Structure formats: structure tokens, C-alpha cells
Chain A
Amino acid sequence: MLESIALAAAKLLEPSGIASLLIGTLMGATFGILPGLGGILSMAIALPFSYGMEPMNAMFMFAGIMSSSGFGGAIPAILLNTPGTAQNAATCLDGYPMACKGEAGRAISIAATACLTGSLGGVIVTMALLPIVKPLIYSFGYPEFFWMTLFGLLTIVVAAKGNLLKGMAGGGIGVLLSTIGYTDMFGVMRYTGDSNYLWDGIPLVPFVTGLFAISELIVYTSRGGSTASLVNYTSGVSWGKQTVMGIKDVLSRPLAVARSAMIGAGVGIIPGLGGPVASFVSYTVAMKRSKDSKNFGKGSPEGILSCEVAMDAKDGGALLPTVAFGIPGSPDQAILLGGFILHGLQPGPLMLRDHMDIVFALLFGIVVSQVFLSGIGMLIAPVMARISLIPNRMIAPFVLMLVFFGAYMVRGNIFDVGLALLAGVFGYTMRRSGFPLITVVMGFILGPLVERAFLQTLQMSDGSYFVFFTRPVSAVLVSLCILVLLISLFRHRLKGRNG
């Protein structure tokens, strides 16, 4: 193992290794900043370009992309309430209110520091878990996967914050919308009518981008002003000081960082859950454990910290099932699997035996890329934060242009642009009616995963529902789900009675 560590570290110090890592980092951050593009698209674009590279350098490039898209996506989430990537949606909850209070620099600095500590934490957890990874992953069958995904879905209830019924309705609408299209489990179409366009279902990128970005664009273009104009922007704290405050916000909460890193790495290990679940679960836990939970959703530094740390820690954790079993730990790592195969590397137990240097190259790449990006991020945070002072009507056409180009680019279908527009109108009406948007997205992303796991479990047990409760890990997870639901309902009723 030490030999593999030394080999990966030595390769990373070579000029070609550094250059590959920097290219990946810049690419991931750029795609992360642009709403609707994100890590998956940048990985997909990088994949063919990696063919001519040395395998280790290609891994550095992929590590750079995976690691940096999260922080890149946090910038529009904080400044424009528009998550650059789906996993940054939770960052909006507290990042944007901070920007509205004139603390955008502090929020970006928190995100940069949190991403760095998260990456480091995730890699440490992953390296510690490497020896015991096999029994852990083998203990997760379809029933456990179902409960874990359902747990992610239940965080909707908490994300709804005082809007329990609307949150539940939003989640339900999201799940139902996700059922549209061809279902490969049954080989039939659902709710497509005679439309060819709906065969593949509602495409994720235009839907989510439109829902968030266009609905927000309608709000701020109609309203005018600038992001930081709602309250007195000159809070008396300079941008430079805000950057330092942001670093202190993270470093002064080592327990919260450690907890979020463990949650992120833990969620990352479970295949298919990915960043959005990691950030929301971590946010929920942080809110429940925080002494200052009332400030969550109103611009809490701890809120940003919890989701950004977990989101970046997830990358390290997600590598485990990807390299150990060839099961992608997150959607972007599905493309990484393609990268392995392209470079003649067979993911699975043999990879852990024969190519540990590649595994360490990815882990080191994630950390070093984050060191580089967070350093740059903290330096440019004051500059980036000034975007929040530009009049909204100056920003709106650029955001719209990026959303329309981004919606089109993924599939090259002009109707995807129209869908993004429709989703935007739908999202705006939802916002105006008091429905939390994020619940629809959570339902839309997690719905198909829950359905698949549910039906696979039933197939596994020949139609018996007992299997959902009788396995030890399942029993623990179902108890967790019930507990979260009951606590949320109890709090909601209590809040209602107290007026």
C-alpha cells in the first residue's frame, strides 16, 4: 500500500500530473458555476479527451473535475439562488439569504473552506474504510438501498420547513413527474401520450435548471434592484474581513465539520445516492443538532458549512464502491467507470489488488485540486461577491442565455429549451403559492431510485413485504425513517399550536 501511495504522490508532483489536475479543476469549476452544466457533463466531455493521456494523468483530470464542480456550483447558489449543480441546491437555503444580507463574501469563503475540509475529511474516511469496505458494501442489498433512498426523500419533510403539507405535495409531484417516460424495468411507457419527446421522460438538466434558474430569474427581473439590495448592503464589514470571517466560521466548528464529513463520505459510499442526498441529509442533521437551528434557512453559516462539507466528502466516499465493485457511487462516477475501461483498468476487487496507485491518484487528486481551488476561491471571493451588487436586470439576460444554451447542449434538442422555460413558469407559480421548490427536485431525482429499489426488493423476495423489515440493516434504516417523520410531524404540530 505504501508503495502505491508513493507512486501516486510522485506522479502528482510531475508537471504533466499537475497540468492534468489543473485542467480538470478549472473545467469542473467553470462547468459548476454555469447553472445546468455541472460535473456530469464536464466528465462526459473530458472522457474522450482523456484517451490519449497516461492513465494516472487522466485520473488526476477526473479527480479535478469531480472535486471542483461542487465549489463552482456554490457560487451561483449563493449569489443568485441558482444552484450550479443539483447538489448545491441545499447551499441556496442559507447562502442566498447571507448574500441578501450583504455577506456574500463570507458565504463564499465558508463554501471554499468547507469544500477543502470536506474533501480532506472524505478522503481520510475513505482511506480508513478501505480495508473494511467489502463487508460494509455487501451488507447493502435492495431493501437497504430502498430505505436509504427513502430516508433521503424524507428529508423533504424537513426541507419544507413549516410547510409540511406543501412540502409533501411538492415531493409527490416530483416523484410523479419522474415516472413519465419509458420504464426499462417493465418495458412500457408511462404518461407519454403519443409524444416522442417524452419517451425518455422529462430530461433532468432542463427541468431542474428551468425550475430553479428561470423561476428565480422571473422573480428578480420583475422586482428589479440587485441581489444585495433588499437590505442595506453596506453592513460595515469589508469584503476582505468577510473572507477571514468565513474561514473562521468553518475552523471554529471542528465537530460540525467532522460530522458532516462522515455523513458525506457515508452517503457517498452507498451507490447511486450522490451529492444532493449527502448535502440534504447533512443539512438536516446539522439543523437538528445546532443550538442556533432557528437561523437555518435565514443565512446560517453552519447551514452552508454542513452541506458543502458533506457534498465534497461524498466524492471520496463514492470512490469506494466505484473502484471496489464497479458500482458507481454517484452519477459522475458512472462516467469515471467509462474512464477506467477506456484506460484498460477493470474496476472491482482486482483493482484494489493490482491498481491501488490509481485509487490513491484519485484520492490525492481530489484533495490537491480542492486545495488549489479553495485558495483561489478565497482570494476571488470578494470579487465574485460583488456580482450580488450588479443590477438584476443586467444579470438576467446572461443567466437566461446560459440556461438556454445549457438546456440545449446536453441532448441537442431544441424542445429541451422550451421545457426549461415551462419548468421555469411552473417553478415561479410554485414559489408564489408557497410550495418549496426543492421538494419537487428531491422527489424528481430520488423517485426513480426509490421505485427501482422497491420493485427489485419485491422481486428478490418473491413479492413478500417482510424483507423490508427483517434484515438487520433494514430494520435500523426503517427506524431512522420513522423517527425523522415522527419528529418532524411532532414539531410541526407543536409549532402550529403555539401559533
Chain B
Amino acid sequence: MKIKIHTPLVFTTLMLVLIAAMIVIGANYPKDVRLVPFIVGTPTFIVLLLLWLRYTFPQSRILNSIVLLEATDGIKGANSDFTGWGQVLNTLGWLLAYYICIFIFGFIVATPVFLAAFFIQKTDVNVTKSILIAIISSFVIIRFVNSLGIDLWLGAVPKFLPGIIGGSIIPPL
């Protein structure tokens, strides 16, 4: 069975919760500190609530007259720029994999591996060319960053090859 996700409703709900949480937490701050979160947060919450109600009760005439043109997308039909969530999740998987790879093994190793794998899997470029493109472009960007005197992240793994893999200290989160 194909599950249809109503993205605007899900997103608006998440934002409502986030803004509500910020207003509630902000209530504990001293007067001046909470001023802007209140002044901006309250109308933002009201606007999001209107949108949420509009998505939840699309037939309501009163809401339609208040919200007017808003919230029609996602109800009337999908924008042609956006594909199904399957393709999107696939892309997100690649992005996340690249980040995790960088985190564990560092930029120097992760970048050519990611580029080569992406070209091989996602484009028509053949394996040899993919590997060549990956190595050359990684070399250029890494040399450029090094020339600026910036120390690249070498990965969270213990130091393996000095200056290439491992030994970077994870900053406090």
C-alpha cells in the first residue's frame, strides 16, 4: 500500500510544536530577554495555527476566507519540481552517508570515495573516469583548503595515517 504523506501538514505541525516550545521556555527568561521571543513567537504561532487548521479542515469556509490563497498547495496537487519521497530519501541517504564517512574517516578519504561512488551509481560516467574525476577534484579542493592554512578534519577514528586518516578531536556538542 502506498502511503501518501501530506508534507505541509506534517511540517506545519512540527513548526507549531517548535514555536510553542520556544514560547514556553522563553517564559522563564527575564523580562528583556524574553521580549523578542514573545513579540515574534506569538504571532508566528497564530499564523502557523491558522495554516494548520486550514490543512486539517480544508472545507471550512471561515478559514478559507481568513487564509485566502494560503495553503492551497499540497491540497490542489504536487509541484512538478518535487518527486516522490522515495527518490528524496535515496538522495538524503547519499548526503548522510557522505557526512558520516567524513565524520569517521575525515575529508581526505571520504571525499574521493563519495565522489567516485556517486558518479558510478548515479550518472552514466564509466568507472575509470569516475575514479579519475573523484581523485582530481578531491586533490584540488583539499590543496586549496590546505593552502589557506586550515586544518582539515581527519576523522574521529584513532590516528591511522598521520595527516590523512584519524586523530581529530571531536568538539564538545
Contacts and interface: CB of A to CB of B under 8 A. Distances in A.
Tell me, yes or no, whether A binds B.
Answer: yes
Contacts of A405: 107, 141, 145
List 5 A-B pairs, minimum CB-CB distance, nearest first: A172-B44, A496-B68, A433-B8, A196-B172, A222-B87
Contact of A186 (B33, B48, B119): B33
Given A417-B99, A434-B73, A450-B36, 8 more contacts: A163-B70, A165-B47, A188-B33, A217-B95, A394-B119, A429-B7, A454-B36, A455-B35
A493 interface: yes
Nearest to B67: A165
A429 B11 CA distance: 7
Describe A's contact surface by its main secondary structure: helix
A408 B172 contact: no
Given A176-B19, A186-B32, A409-B150, A432 B173 contact: no
Interface in B67-110: 67-71, 73-74, 79, 81-83, 87-88, 90-92, 94-96, 98-99, 102-103, 107
Interface string A429-445: 11111110000000000
A397 B119 contact: yes
Interface of A: 45, 162-166, 168-169, 172-173, 175-176, 179, 183, 186, 188, 190-191, 195-197, 214, 217-219, 221-223, 391, 393-394, 396-398, 400-402, 404-405, 408-409, 412-415, 417-418, 421, 424-425, 428-435, 447, 450-451, 454-455, 492-493, 495-497
B41 interface: yes
Interface in B122-136: 122-123, 125
Contacts of A435: 11
Contacts of B81: 219, 223, 431
Contact of A218 (B8, B69, B92): B92
B87 A404 contact: no
A357 to B, nearest CB: 31
B29 A190 contact: yes
B40 A222 contact: no
B34 to A, nearest CB: 9
Contacts of A447: 36, 40
A414 B41 contact: no
A179 B51 CA distance: 24
Interface of B: 7-8, 10-12, 15, 18-19, 22, 25-26, 29-30, 32-33, 35-37, 40-41, 43-44, 47-48, 50-51, 67-71, 73-74, 79, 81-83, 87-88, 90-92, 94-96, 98-99, 102-103, 107, 111, 114-115, 118-119, 122-123, 125, 137-138, 141, 145, 148, 150-153, 168, 170-173
Contacts of B119: 394, 397
B32 A432 contact: no
A432 B82 contact: yes
A161 to B, nearest CB: 10
A164 B25 CA distance: 27
A183 B47 CA distance: 27
Contacts of B50: 165
A231 to B, nearest CB: 11
Contacts of B40: 172, 175-176, 447
Contacts of A451: 35-36
B37 A176 contact: yes
A433 B172 CA distance: 34
Contact of A169 (B51, B91, B122, B141): B51
Contacts of B22: 176, 191
18 contacts: A165-B47, A168-B43, A169-B15, A169-B47, A175-B44, A190-B26, A190-B33, A191-B22, A197-B172, A396-B122, A401-B111, A404-B98, A408-B107, A432-B8, A432-B82, A433-B74, A450-B36, A492-B69
A418 B30 contact: no
A280 B8 CA distance: 27
A197 B82 contact: no
A340 B172 CA distance: 36
B15 A173 contact: yes
A424 B99 CA distance: 13
Contacts of B30: 186, 188
A176 B44 contact: yes
Contacts of B83: 222-223
Contacts of B173: 195-197, 415
Contact of A397 (B10, B25, B36, B118): B118
A190 B36 CA distance: 11
A432 B168 CA distance: 37
B76 to A, nearest CB: 11
Contacts of A414: 102-103, 153, 168, 170-171
Contacts of A214: 95
B157 to A, nearest CB: 13
A435 B74 CA distance: 11
B102 A417 contact: yes
